[in-house]
């Protein structure tokens, strides 16, 4: 699955919505407090259908990456060592990190900085194959190349390390392939499947020989996969795939060098979503959930 220009283009067009969303969650007290109450920040790491605490307990000073972290700080940042609550070496990684860190500063939030990183190039940022656990929640299906994201995440792990995936099923179909949503993730007969209108992949068969996949559908309906690295990832599946290494500066330059019309469209979209999110995030949580349910029923 090579990176396609059209995928990258669509991915870039998804940025304004994402930024407007977080900007307004952080702007308003109620959604921000709601987010912090929901997240496990300040507490033990907790993942749906996977006992991360037990897994990490057996590791010395384990290193964890939360990739495509957004600004939710959903994952806890402590683990249990010798029965004591111990700070976890967790890194929040997202390609929109420069923008997110600006939002943290703007609203004076005392939360950890987010590291720049793109899952399709993750092994270029974490080069030592020494990560114990990579967590990707609601983000693999936002990337322009999820399969490469999986290979790269596995490459950063130690042998025996785990990649944890948690996603809403078939999100691109639900979102009509808008914004970042270009791929669906689902569980089919116990198999982790990634697909869109033109491509379909059975992940376990692609990873055979260097990783084992356990896939389940949780009670919440989420698709959960725990992938264990059993051997080194073949080098032809990782690294630069010919489209160039996307560094933070390159992403910024790409944004700047978009044609005038495209830049104007992006700015327009940002402000459109910013106004919509300004109103939505200002509404009471219960009322928003009612509207969401009504839209889903329609």
Q: Which residues bind ligand SAM (CB under 6 A)?
A: 18, 67-70, 72, 74, 94-96, 118-120, 137-139, 142-143, 180
DSSP 164: E
Nearer to ligand SAM, 189 or 253 (CB): 253
Specify whether the CB–CB gap between 219 and 21 falls below 8 A: no
Which token pair is 282?
């200002």
- Region of residue 209 (phi > 0: left; psi between -120 and 50: alpha; otherwise: beta): left
Q: Which residue is nearest to ligand SAM (CB)?
A: 70
DSSP 50: B
Nearer to ligand SAM, 55 or 180 (CB): 180
Nearer to ligand SAM, 35 or 230 (CB): 35
| 223-229 and 211-217 strand pairing | antiparallel
Nearer to ligand SAM, 46 or 57 (CB): 46
- Min separation Cβ 142 and ligand SAM, Å: 4
Nearer to ligand SAM, 79 or 100 (CB): 100
- Min separation Cβ 60 and ligand SAM, Å: 27
Q: How many other CB atoms sit within 10 Å of the CB of residue 39?
A: 18
Nearest to 106 by CA among 43, 32, 12: 32
Q: How many other CB atoms sit within 10 Å of the CB of residue 197?
A: 10
């Amino acid at each position: 699955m090579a990176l396609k220009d059209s995928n990258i283009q669509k991915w870039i067009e998804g940025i304004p919505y994402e930024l407007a969303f977080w900007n307004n969650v952080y702007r308003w007290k109620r959604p921000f407090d709601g987010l912090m109450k929901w997240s496990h920040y300040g507490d033990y790491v907790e993942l749906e259908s996977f006992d991360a605490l037990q897994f990490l307990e057996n590791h010395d000073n384990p290193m964890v990456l939360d990739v495509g972290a957004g600004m939710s700080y959903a994952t806890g940042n402590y683990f249990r060592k010798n029965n004591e609550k111990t700070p976890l070496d967790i890194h929040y990684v997202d390609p929109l990190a420069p923008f997110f860190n600006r939002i943290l500063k703007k609203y004076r939030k005392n939360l950890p900085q987010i590291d720049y990183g793109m899952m399709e190039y993750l092994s270029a940022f974490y080069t030592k194959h020494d990560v114990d656990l990579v967590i990707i929640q609601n983000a693999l299906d936002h990337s322009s190349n999820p399969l490469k994201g999986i290979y790269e995440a596995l490459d950063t792990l130690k042998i025996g390390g785990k990649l944890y995936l948690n996603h809403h099923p078939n999100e691109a179909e639900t979102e009509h392939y808008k914004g970042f949503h270009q791929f669906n993730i689902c569980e089919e007969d116990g198999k982790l499947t990634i697909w869109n209108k033109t491509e379909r992949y059975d992940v376990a068969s692609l990873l055979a020989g260097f990783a084992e996949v356990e896939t389940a559908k949780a009670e919440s309906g989420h698709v959960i996969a725990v992938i264990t690295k059993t051997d080194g990832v073949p080098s032809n599946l990782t690294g630069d795939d010919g489209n160039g290494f996307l560094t933070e500066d390159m992403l910024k330059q790409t944004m700047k060098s978009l044609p005038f019309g495209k830049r104007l469209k992006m700015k327009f979209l940002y402000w459109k979503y910013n106004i919509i999110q300004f109103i939505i995030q200002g509404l009471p949580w219960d009322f928003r959930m009612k509207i969401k349910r009504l839209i889903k029923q329609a």
